[in-house]
Amino acid sequence: MAKYTALAQDILDHVGGAENVNSLKHCVTRLRFSLKDEGKADTDYLKQLDGVVTVVQAGGQYQVVIGNHVPEVYAEVLKVGNLQGSGTVDADEEGPKGNLFDRFVDLVSGIFQPFLGPLAAAGIIKGIVAILAVTGMSHDNSALYAILETAGDGFFQFLPMLIAITSARKFKMNEFTALAIAGALVYPTLPATIATLSEAKLAHVLGIPFELPSSGSYLQTVMPAILAIWVASHVEKFMKKITPDVVKLFVVPFVTLLVTVPLTFLVVGPVANIASDLLSGTFTAIMGFSPLLYGLLLGALWQVLVMFGLHWALVPLAILQLPELGWTTILIPASLPNFTQTGVLAAIYLKTKEQKVKTLTVPAFISSLFGVTEPAIYGITLPMKTPFYISCVVSGLVGAALSFFDIKGYSFGALGIFQYPAYVGPDGLMPMWIMIGFSVVAIVVSFAIQMALPVPTLYAKAEVAEPVASTKTVTEQVIASPLSGEVIALEDTPDAVFASGAMGRGIAVEPSLGEVVAPADGFVRLLFPTNHAIGLATEDGTEILIHVGMDTVALNGEGFTAHVTQGSRVRKGQLLLTFDIEKIKAAGYPVTTPVIVTTPTSDVQVTDADTVNVGDYLLTAIQ
């Protein structure tokens, strides 16, 4: 983005400087400034500035029209002006859209994304430690082993600390206050303190139990830290509003800690224990009813249980079963999900066109072989969703098969490819060979299913797009109508920027049906977060912008639904967006929809029809 630095500085200087900016956000084509005094802005200069299409003053906003590169220019303006941006929507409206699961996935993957590299590296080190353990090394007889074990386990042990930092960024609170809260969660003497208080029947505050999860601590946990920081962010936000500036520096973090830490221990701990007890009782009942069903459910749900820390509900049962019987079957169906992750990761590596995904997949693949799946789940498969579903389904089927063969384990500890000796016992080597066989099945089946299905994109922006848009020379591209309705000349649209042709040449449609479909084969180059505008690049390299309505960005997505994601490949006629025409009109916005060619062309010829239906001829881009 360095090439936009000079432009960004010039724009900022001529809107009156950073000190004249109340807030800044952007839509699909424009920087939308809220200025303290618009009289300080040099509109004439900005209109003539290379890189600026025009300037529009409307709706209490000072709009600098940039075009397709507005996200890059926006980011650079924030940087050079040291501004806090409002993104594409109001701060209170920011965040993932969609159903609850989609929001959860976006939240968790966003929190883990910043430290995926070190997470994968720590996972590989844990694998090296496992290899050394097979040779007889341990922290009791080798300093090297002890150092490497610390290097690998330390990251996972204190995961709540890292989660606190990224969660604080996600929930917009002070990172150091968040770290203080996480530090309380992993305080080293806390488990012993609670045990002592419990023996004296003093482990309660105002009658509320002071408890830890079934694991005995919050080390290696994920959800408690996220929940604690979410609560803390709301406490901090409230305190900032009511605290006088003169004491805000220490009063805000003081109250935030004072409220959040006890609340976390007094709510999260008991709730986690109740959930664990219910889960333990449920799975025990299912095992008594049908071991096959138990294996299916535990195998399918294990990765989800681990994400929430609820897998600890079953670990004590296995620990008790082993010394009592000399063997255990409780956790056997959950022994191989790491290999279903291995399979989908291999397929993702072979099929993805995103270099960043390939780079992340390699260490995650290695870690999964050693039984460490966090880099795979949080960095790749869960954000992509489909690979995660495949992994869970195949894990369930493998778990049911292991229950059918009544495989027993005779020891605990090893994971991944080092777990097999645990199945050698009175029955000889056969259980071990069965486990190895189903490990191969888990990898092969999950690999085959993922190879047969599309691999979702993660970093869609233009990694996939660039080669398509730049390897062919367009001479003539026919574009079908993406909408049904009345045809309107572009110069007759109620927006000066589109009407002037500054954004490109094209035509507009007054839609009679609230649907937008793909006008040609290609891919989604840009999908605005509020779903009111979409940019496509055809297979011949022509770029099309479809902007539903005028100033509809102000609706913040209300009335709009996207049926594709940025980076998606689309076929002509495929549904892209739906929108509520009456709702948009009721809010006072026109639904007139420009369809413009944003790539340089020598000519754009448009239909002479008065009305069009979806799929009818609309325009031809000639280059």
Q: Which amino acid does the sequence have at 606?
A: V
Which residues lie below 8 Å from residue 4, measured CB to CB, with a gap of 6+? 51, 69, 72, 73, 76
Angle between helices 337-351 and 386-404 (to 10 degrees): 140
User: What is the residue whose two structure tokens read 């529009």?
Assistant: 56
Residues 182 and 161: beta-carbon distance below 8 Å: yes
Residues 560 and 530: beta-carbon distance below 8 Å: yes
Which residues lie below 8 Å from residue 140, measured CB to CB, with a gap of 6+? none
CB-side exposure of 544: number of CA atoms within 13 Å?
33
DSSP state string for 593-611? EEEEE-S--SEEEE---SE
Tell me which H or E stretch contains 369. Answer: helix 355-369
End-to-end Cα separation, the chain, in angstroms: 28
Residues 14 and 42: beta-carbon distance below 8 Å: yes
Tell me which H or E stretch contains 456. Answer: none
| DSSP SS3 for 122 | helix
Which residues lie below 8 Å from residue 352, measured CB to CB, with a gap of 6+? 358, 361, 455, 457
The span from the CA of 419 to the CA of 401, in Å, is 18
Residues 464 and 354: beta-carbon distance below 8 Å: yes
Which residues lie below 8 Å from residue 13, measured CB to CB, with a gap of 6+? none
| Phi, psi (rounded to 5 degrees) for 263 | -60, -40
Residues 514 and 595: beta-carbon distance below 8 Å: no
- Which among 7, 12, 15, 27 is annotated as catalytic? 27
**Active-site residue flag, 392:** no
Active site residues: 27
